Amino acid sequence: MHTSAPRRVSTITNMLASDIAPPVQVSNVSEKGIQLVDGLLLPSACVFLEGQVFLWDVPSVPSGWAEWSKKHFELFETVVPRPELLVFGTGPRLHMPPSFVRGHLRELGIGLEVMDTRNACSTYNMLSEEGRRVAAALLPLQPHAWTKDQR
């Protein structure tokens, strides 16, 4: 798990600040992975939720959606409060997920926006800066094989 650095102690107090974790922000998306503003490079699929980053062990979309199931979205069943919207980046191109994905998220009260990963990162950045309860599920531009060390 990765979170942004904690706020520094200061003699100045921001009356509008809250204890809520700052949103995760993406600075760059490339063939190497998704780079966060703090410099962390994520080479594989990930989920941004409530100011935290989770590595996401999912099949690559170019191989098709056949290996995908509701279990790949279990994280969204357990989190409270749930995001109002999930921005789903499907890699270098838009690949519409099967209907069970949208249906399952709708049952959980979560809206779904699907787009390529670059646009998904931009959309996520904008919505999180607005203070929306938004999550991102992002597939890398280049599929990355998981190793035992990453789990």
In a domain? residue 7: no
Residues of the chain above pLDDT 90, percent? 73
Q: How many residues make up the chain in this entry?
A: 151
The model carries a pTM of 0.82
Neighbours of 129 (CB within 10 A): 11
In a domain? residue 41: yes
Give the model confidence (pLDDT) of 10-32 as tens digits.
Answer: 455 555 555 555 679 999 999 99
Q: Report the pLDDT averaged over residues 107-131.
A: 96
Largest CA distance in the chain: 56
Instruction: Supply the range of the domain harboring residue 54.
Output: 19-145
| Calpha distance 56→49 (Å, rounded) | 12
Neighbours of 9 (CB within 10 A): 5
Nearest one of 41, 105, 26, 31 to 68, comparing CA atoms: 105
pLDDT at 112 over 90: yes
| Calpha distance 76→34 (Å, rounded) | 21
In a domain? residue 150: no
In a domain? residue 129: yes
pLDDT at 113 over 90: yes
In a domain? residue 8: no
CA atoms lying within 13 Å on the CB side of residue 149: 1
- Exposed (0-12), middle (13-18) or buried (19+): which is 139, by Cβ within 10 Å? buried
In a domain? residue 4: no
Amino acid letter, 74: E
pLDDT at 151 over 60: no
Q: 121 near 138, Cβ under 8 Å?
A: yes
Q: What is the CATH number of the domain that holds 132?
A: 3.40.1230.10
The SS3 assignment for 131 reads: coil
Give the model confidence (pLDDT) of 72-100 as tens digits.
Answer: 999 999 999 999 999 999 999 999 999 99
| Calpha distance 32→30 (Å, rounded) | 5
pLDDT at 106 over 70: yes
